[in-house]
Amino acid sequence: MVAQKRAAEWESLDPWEKAAQWEASSPEISAEVMNLARQRAEHQMRLEEKRVDHEQRMDIRRWAAQLITIGLGTLNTVLLVVLAWHYADSGQIWPGLAMFGAGSGLTAGAYAVGRSIGGPRERVAQSSGL
């Protein structure tokens, strides 16, 4: 009964009061536990810094990949226009238009797929106000 009462009193104390009582009863163990807690907090801070650094690097890579994708898509469309123009000059208008239409459609589809792959993270960031 006395043990239960002491346990209930101990549980009702604030963490700071518990730490003060513990330090008074066994200072060497208290110092060891505080050192471990400090090390854990420092470790958590280092992990958080690494995570933030990683996310920043990934954002830059994602941005570069989008720029490259837009550049290559634009280049592809320009080349398709040149190819369709060549077909039209040689009197084959319909094959040229078919080539241009199919190529442009595939380019737009590739761009849309790329946006959908990168989209969820961007949508989450936008919805959270970041």
pLDDT at 51: 96
* Angle separating helix axes 93-127 and 27-89, nearest 10 degrees: 160
Q: What is the distance between the alpha carbons of residues 33 and 27, in angstroms, rounded to a whole number?
A: 10
Write out pLDDT tens, residues 15-51: 777 777 777 888 888 788 788 889 999 999 999 999 9
70-81 exposure pattern, b = at least 16 Cβ within 10 A, e = fewer: eeebeeeeeebe
Who contacts 49 (Cβ-Cβ below 8 Å, separation ≥6)?
none
Query: Would you say the C-alpha torsion 8, 13, 17, 18 has a positive or negative sign?
Result: positive
Phi, psi of 90 (to 5 degrees): -90, 5
Write out pLDDT tens, residues 69-123: 888 888 888 888 888 888 888 888 888 888 888 888 888 887 788 777 765 555 4
